[in-house]
Amino acid sequence: MKIGKYEINTVATGTLGLDGGAMFGVIPKVLWQKTNPADEKNRITLGMRCLLLQSDSKKILIDTGVGDHWDSKFSKIYRMDKSESELTRSLNKLGVKHEEITDVILTHMHFDHTGGATKFENDKMVPTFPNAAYYIQKDHFNWAKNPSDRDKASFFPERFVPLAEEGILKLIDGNEHFDDYIQFIVTNGHTFAHQMIKVSDSSNTLLYCGDLMPTASHVPLPYIMGYDLQPLVTLEEKKKYLSEAVEENWKIIFEHDPYITTATITKTDKGFVVNERYKDLV
């Protein structure tokens, strides 16, 4: 699809298995397993869907998936599977090489979003996209370098600190505009200073909502991840942005939904629900 000067494509980067209970917080399994069936270790399948925006002068990648060079134990725990799709293969399908990426926008530094930002080369981690500037919220970067005991298993500073050391990490401060069509929108419920990416012109708006709502199953208000540091903040953020999505007919892109790429939202007497859903970006 096209918004403003940008041609927009999704970039599939494989799947993960994460504990269904942790993914749905206080929601009982009898409810969430209807849409997201669990395996024998209670893991549900999650996609890692990045976004590529191309104009005459820019090739912008939003998030990078889990990346490579994880040891086999870690890969097994998270059931990493790249048999169907992988970052480089998906970019190549779109005719894009690593060197051509001009900008990489990261929603946050959790390993399943940032792992592909760097690669292992000559005994060290180096940027996967050598000619790109990378963007993250300043407050999130500071948190990610020194997280709490509760969330430190989600961060691997050795994979993103090299971006800062290379001098290519740009620190964003709040809801800044990248250009006339792209805006960073900060949320603080999932982790501190996570950012969503809003892409809009006069007729269409896409919201790449990162981990505010990882899947379409997370649209109803109480469906909030157990991982979230501030679930009641997530609740208020969902109300705010789902209301705007209904009023202005936004399309929401779900980064982790293995089945649904994008959806519009409606509000019924049961609250916010998915209206039209699409398997592909249209």
Binding mask 54-93 for Zn ion (x = CB under 5 A): ----------------------------------------
Rounded to the nearest whole angstrom, what is the least distance from the CB of residue 106 to Zn ion in the complex?
11
Question: Which position among 63, 211, 237, 255 is part of the footprint of Zn ion (CB under 5 A)?
Answer: 211
Binding residues for Zn ion, total number by CB under 5 A? 2
- Rule CB under 5 A: say whether 256 interacts with Zn ion: no
Residue nearest to Zn ion (CB): 110
In degrees to the nearest 10, what's the CA dihedral of 126, 130, 132, 137? Answer: 0
CB of 112 to Zn ion, least distance (A): 7
As measured in angstroms, the least distance from the Cβ of 267 to Zn ion is 26
Closer residue to Zn ion, CB minimum distance, 22 or 26? 22
Our finding on whether 110 is near Zn ion (CB under 5 A) is yes
Which are the contacts of 69, defined by CB distance < 8 A and separation ≥ 6? 119, 120
Edge-to-edge order in the sheet of strand 251-253: 182-187, 194-200, 205-208, 251-253, 262-268, 271-278
- Kindly state the smallest distance separating residue 169's Cβ from Zn ion, in Å: 18
Nearer Cβ to Zn ion (181/211): 211
Distance between CA atoms of residues 148 and 120, nearest Å = 26
Kind plus residue range of the DSSP H or E element containing 142: helix 138-145
10: Cβ contacts below 8 Å, ≥ 6 apart: 49, 50, 51, 52, 253, 261, 280, 281
Position 256: which residue type? H
User: Given the rule CB under 5 A, which residues bind Zn ion?
Assistant: 110, 211
